[in-house]
Structure 1
Amino acid sequence: MKNPYSKKRRLGTALLTVVLMVSCLLSACSTTGTKGSSGAQQATQPSGQASAAPHKIIIKHAMEETTLESTPARIVVLDNGALDNLLALGVKPVGAPTVQLEQPYPDYLKNQTEGITNIGTIDEPNLESIAKLNPDLILGSKDTHEKIYNKLKQLAPTVYVDTIGYTWKENLKLQAQAVGKEAEAAKLLDSYENRLKDFRSQMGDRISTTKVSILRPRADHVRIYLKESFSGSIVSDAGLQRPAAQQGTGLSANAGEEQIADMAGDVILWFSRDKEHLLRTKLVNNPLWLKLDAVQSNQVHEVSAETWLSGLGIQAANLVVDDLFKVLLKSK
């Protein structure tokens, strides 16, 4: 007599086999995923969602190495150069200082700075104001803010350039790296170099014979800016020459009425923040000043202190180049 349950057992076994096969197929599908061009397996993502891989960056800077776990979004800058550069890169900081308390941001940036919180002065940024902004990156300079570095890095990852001024191109590159805008920085520098190439071409043979003097008259002396200054570096990039007395290294040299000869040049470009300064109070009537070639040929030109002195970024650099075109070629 046949077992009445044998047929049922055979049916049950078949059904179990089918279930196991389907389960294995579903499991394989859920783990296989898709492959990119490199052939590596990638987990599938729900529709409309990107991969969650962070943009981790290790920045080697003037103080140490700093790790950024992702591209920063809330950035505080501690000087005009970093403010200028970030705005040029299309990144608006949440906080920035001014030269003097309650002073507005540089006029040449006025259309770009709406909504940025003043965090004090460049020399004395307010740590409490910075903390309230909840930054995820702070950009400063070692030569100005070294003493507060350890306090700042407790608030957010902090990246310092070594110095400000003639190193402005290297500073732009480092700051661009920190905010993930290296390609944009390269384009800005290429454009700057192309403008100077055009300037040199238009100057022709005059480029190797025109000596430019850069002066900042103060209340009781004149500061002569040398090649290792912001504006001095741009004049050098342009291919223009400097007078013999202005060939020294360093940022600047001081001169009084006794050193008027050191201020000479085919062209004198000057700027000042002081309302009353030596050029207006004494030099303008000094016989030695009046005998200078630039004075006699009407080649003494005032330029903006905001750009030539304290701009320190790529936008200010281009405005300095604008002035070179205006003064030496009478055009842009």
Structure 2
Amino acid sequence: MFLSARKKLNVMASVGMIVLCLLLIAGCGGNNGEDAAGTSETAVPPTAAADTKETTRTIKDAYGDVEVPAAPARIVVLDIGALDNLLELGVKPVGAPSILAPGDPYPAYLKNTEGIENIGSVNEPNLEAIDALKPDLIIGNKDTHEQIHDQLALIAPTIFVESLGITWKENLLVHAEAVGKAEEGKQLLEGYQTRIAELKGKIESKPAPLEVSLFRPREDKIQIYLQETFSGLIMSDAGIKRPEAQTAEGFSKDLTEEQIADLDGDVMFWFSRSNSDFEKIEKSPLWATLKGVQAKQVHQVDWETWMSGLGIQAVNKVVDDLFNYLVEQ
């Protein structure tokens, strides 16, 4: 009996030692996140992980990398192209300029401009008015606003595109990225490319190519618009043939009344801020000799879109006119 009891005690002691060893092993495995080297690997709580969400993004503009808010809420734009693009992207700026004089209405083709604070004109934005709006992002362009770039950057992160007009596609993508709408910007550009391909196909299907003239009557001269203009680029994208005098590189060329033949085309588009400037051309004895005039294919188009729009909404208005006058008539 004694030996049996002693054996029982030995067995119980052995079991106890095994249990103790298991507990010690478990304790070594759960050493508060310390590895063999003694470094801590404490897990980040879910709430702390959420707090690490980025509040800024880096955008490349005409000057280099610019850090902008991830979700800007108070945006000031300095030109109509940026205003046009942002509104189409569903983003309403708090401030924008008029085309010509401070306080002038925004272009009529733009919708949802109510409540946007006027900050002066495109050429002379009011820095005090911009500062008073407490923007968290400013969008402008180097061509027009280079001299005030540094002052603007002191007010808020400032994104500048290089230029306007023929760079409208690149500008759209920069504007979209700056306001966190990069994918939407790409979709708008793809929509344009689809429409312009359709227009090009319809124009190329015509029996003979049409030469299309583009000009602007002015008080003291006549300007023909060349390839490197906003509207000239759209016509080039559509494969529209231009008169020989309008195929040169550059923005525009000034004509005298004696050179009026350079305006001629099978179809003639003109725009001006003053209709009286066009009326002077009509009085020229050479005007009636133009084939576009004789065919009654002279059309006034909206200067706010063809000349000063510079954004995706204006682009689509120009394409509408090209469909209307070159395909559907």
Fold in common (TM above 0.5) = yes
Band of TM-score, shorter chain: 0.7 to 0.9
> CA separation in 1, counterparts of 2:326 and 2:137?
41
> CA separation in 2, counterparts of 1:86 and 1:261?
40
2:111 is equivalent to residue 146 of structure 1: no
Contact 1:141 1:161 (8 Å CA) reproduced = yes
2:212 is equivalent to residue 204 of structure 1: no
Contact 2:196 2:319 (8 Å CA) reproduced = yes
Contact 2:70 2:180 (8 Å CA) reproduced = no
Q: Deviations over 1:194-228 (max 9, x none)?
A: 11111122223339721111111111211111111
1:108 corresponds in structure 2 to 109
Contact 1:54 1:69 (8 Å CA) reproduced = no
> CA separation in 2, counterparts of 1:113 and 1:25?
62
Moved over 3 A (4+): 24-28, 49-52, 204-208
Structural mapping, 1:281-300, within 5 Å: 282-300=280-298
1:312 corresponds in structure 2 to 310
1:12 corresponds in structure 2 to none
**Which consecutive residues of structure 1, in runs of 5 or more, have no partner in the other structure?**
1-17, 34-42
- Describe the shift of the 1:62–1:242 C-alpha distance in structure 2 as closer, same or farther (beyond 3 A): same
1:61 corresponds in structure 2 to 61
1:271 corresponds in structure 2 to 271
Structural mapping, 1:131-280, within 5 Å: 131-206=131-206, 209-277=209-277, 279-280=278-279
In structure 1, the residue corresponding to 2:269 is in which secondary structure? strand
How well do the aligned residues superpose, as a CA RMSD in angstroms? 2.8
> CA separation in 2, counterparts of 1:253 and 1:243?
13
In structure 2, the residue corresponding to 1:118 is in which secondary structure? strand
> How many angstroms does 1:314 deviate by?
0.4
2:130 is equivalent to residue 130 of structure 1: yes
Contact 1:62 1:161 (8 Å CA) reproduced = yes
| Larger deviation, residues 54-63 vs 212-221 | 54-63
> CA separation in 2, counterparts of 1:161 and 1:195?
25
In structure 1, the residue corresponding to 2:253 is in which secondary structure? strand
Structural mapping, 1:83-122, within 5 Å: 83-99=83-99, 100-109=101-110, 111-122=111-122
> CA separation in 2, counterparts of 1:269 and 1:302?
6
> CA separation in 2, counterparts of 1:241 and 1:136?
45
TM-score of the pair, normalised by structure 2? 0.84
Structural mapping, 1:20-99, within 5 Å: 43-46=44-47, 50-99=50-99
TM-score of the pair, normalised by structure 1? 0.84
Q: Deviations over 1:296-318 (max 9, x none)?
A: 00110000001001000000000
Letter in 1 for 2:76: V
> How many angstroms does 1:65 deviate by?
2.3
- Describe the shift of the 1:208–1:156 C-alpha distance in structure 2 as closer, same or farther (beyond 3 A): farther
In structure 2, the residue corresponding to 1:150 is in which secondary structure? helix
Contact 2:142 2:162 (8 Å CA) reproduced = yes
- Describe the shift of the 1:303–1:55 C-alpha distance in structure 2 as closer, same or farther (beyond 3 A): same
Q: Identity rate of aligned residues, in percent?
A: 50
In structure 1, the residue corresponding to 2:206 is in which secondary structure? helix
Q: Deviations over 1:212-249 (max 9, x none)?
A: 11111111211111111111111111110111000111
Aligned length: 304
Letter in 2 for 1:212: V
Contact 1:266 1:293 (8 Å CA) reproduced = yes
**Which consecutive residues of structure 2, in runs of 5 or more, have no partner in the other structure?**
1-22, 34-40
> CA separation in 1, counterparts of 2:228 and 2:157?
29
In structure 2, the residue corresponding to 1:324 is in which secondary structure? helix
> CA separation in 1, counterparts of 2:194 and 2:207?
16
Letter in 2 for 1:177: E
Letter in 2 for 1:76: V
1:36 corresponds in structure 2 to none
> CA separation in 1, counterparts of 2:315 and 2:203?
19
> CA separation in 2, counterparts of 1:26 and 1:112?
62
> How many angstroms does 1:59 deviate by?
2.1
Letter in 2 for 1:197: A
> CA separation in 1, counterparts of 2:86 and 2:203?
32
